[in-house]
Amino acid sequence: MKNIITLLLLFFIIHVSCISQQKFNNYFEDASLRIDFMLTGNSESQAAYLLNLKKEPYWGGPKKNLIDKFGYGEYRLNVFDVSSGEKIYTYGFCTLFEEWRTTTEAKERSKAFYQTVTCPYPRNSIRIEIKARNHDGSYSVLYETKISPSSLEINRDKPINAKVTKLVDNGPSNKNVDIAFIAEGYTEEEQDKFIEDIKRLTGYLFSFPPYDKLKDKFNIWAIGAISEQSGCDDPGKGIWVNTAVNSSFNTFGIDRYLESYDVRSIRDYAANAPYDQIYVLVNTKKYGGGGIYNHFSLTSADNIYSKQVFIHEFGHAFAGLGDEYYTSDVAYNDYFNKKIEPWQPNLTTLVDFDSKWKDMLAKDTPVPTPPTDTFKVGVYEGAGYSAKGIYRPAINCRMKTNEAKGFCPVCQKAITDMVLFLSDE
């Protein structure tokens, strides 16, 4: 009887997987539609305007799990089939623009930021919505339009020329997490160094739980963008260099914040490979990095803390993990609304703690948890750039400091859940 139940369960799983794959094939091609748009506004308001549409040769995401189950991100792309009205794809993401909107500068003037999202390439006409999360947690539609896959406004140029090397191959993209590394500040003579830097940093990533047990679910790509000069811009020191994707320290006036506003160039290079995540590796010794959920990550390659920063920033961009520190300087003002529950899986305001890691607490764990108590998982005050009102799951974690031994159990679970979702499991 037990064997019969097991066989029936296996048949059900295979059947559901086949239906999901057929649904993808009904609605999509194995390619990507890239949607480029501008986000404009200030601290009080924002708007979105379409710039370009482009067909790209690869789809790196899942083919079964097309509807996002996490609800992460400050923005959301919804894709509907026009003929049936069915929602066929959703995707949550964050942007550098939304971070800028919390800065002092955004109270004084308006700016525009380039932004890009992708979805599987549609076989039939679709309607897209770009939604933004409001301060109270609700969503508003910023932009919507219908798109025909045969439209002449869809650019079909080949991706920008760059050498592509697949460093780790564990199988089909929809069954694995594909990370596309882009060389930044590496000259033509330094491309071998780029490859070795990737191997060193990913080796470190796969030595930490939960990545150590999930490393066979990752593909690693190297995209050899060639820069005219080594390094990257450092405006605080008057250093300006010509590089492939125009990365720079001193973002929002924070010396260590390494970012790029040149989203278009980054996406142009990334189109050379299927990807779930884009990681820009910057050829510099200076300490710094940045990671934005489902946007991209950057890290300096040669600092003594580069490995620690590398996995911290990937935690943001890949698993939607929030910063657990609250004493370091940041440019943001009141980034989190303490009257609602943050969407980041490792942060809570206790407004809806049942939706977070409450089920992972030991029965005798006090909530909030005193900092003198060292429970494996607790509710410790101080996180999300605020000493009061926002709580984290551990005394120390890699999302809090570079000195932490690794990720706490809550962050490990969030990472694992994301890996399995993107692996169509």
Is residue 15 predicted with pLDDT exceeding 50?
no
**CB-based contacts of 339-342 (< 8 A; 24+ apart in sequence):** 339/136, 340/136, 340/137, 341/137, 342/384, 342/390
Where in the chain is CATH 3.40.390.10?
163-323
- Tens of pLDDT, residue by residue over 84-131, are 999 999 999 999 999 999 999 999 999 999 999 999 999 999 999 999
Tell me what pLDDT residue 108 has.
96
Tell me what pLDDT residue 367 has.
95
Average pLDDT value for residue range 203-211: 97
Tell me what pLDDT residue 335 has.
84
Tell me what pLDDT residue 374 has.
72
Percent of the chain with pLDDT over 90: 90
Q: Which two tokens stand for residue 236?
A: 């605080």
Where in the chain is CATH 2.60.40.3250?
11-155
Is residue 7 predicted with pLDDT exceeding 80?
no
Average pLDDT value for residue range 330-351: 89
**CB-based contacts of 136-139 (< 8 A; 24+ apart in sequence):** 136/337, 136/339, 136/340, 137/337, 137/340, 137/341, 139/76
Size of the chain in residues: 425
Is residue 83 predicted with pLDDT exceeding 60?
yes
Q: Confidence class of residue 52 from pLDDT cuts 50, 70 and 90?
A: very high
Tell me what pLDDT residue 229 has.
98
Beta bridge partners of 116: 36
Q: How far apart are CA 186 and CA 34, in angstroms?
A: 26
Class of domain 11-155: mainly beta
Average pLDDT taken over every residue of the chain: 94
Q: C-alpha angle 298/242/308, rounded to 5°?
A: 20
Burial of 208 (0-12, 13-18, 19+ CB in 10 A): middle
Please state, in angstroms and as integers, the Cα–Cα distance from residue 192 to each residue in 177, 188, 222, 316, following that order: 24, 9, 11, 28
Q: How far apart are CA 85 and CA 316, in angstroms?
A: 33
Please state, in angstroms and as integers, the Cα–Cα distance from residue 322 to each residue in 307, 344, 360, 370, 385, following that order: 18, 6, 18, 21, 10
Backbone angles phi, psi at 88, to 5 degrees: -115, -10
Q: Which two tokens stand for residue 59?
A: 């789809």
- Tens of pLDDT, residue by residue over 246-258, are 999 999 999 999 9
Q: What SS3 class is residue 224?
A: strand
Is residue 16 predicted with pLDDT exceeding 70?
no
Q: Please give, one letter per residue, the 3-state secondary structure of 179-217.
A: EEEEEECCCHHHHHHHHHHHHHHHHHHCCCCCHHHHHHH
Q: Which two tokens stand for residue 122?
A: 């549609």
Its pTM surpasses 0.85: yes
- Tens of pLDDT, residue by residue over 147-185, are 999 999 999 999 999 999 999 999 999 999 999 999 999
How is 389-414 classified by DSSP, letter by letter?
Answer: EEEESSSS-TTT-TTSSS--HHHHHH
Beta bridge partners of 144: 129
Q: What SS3 class is residue 19?
A: helix
Is residue 9 predicted with pLDDT exceeding 50?
no
Tell me what pLDDT residue 20 has.
60
Beta bridge partners of 111: 41
CATH topology of domain 163-323: Collagenase (Catalytic Domain) (3.40.390)
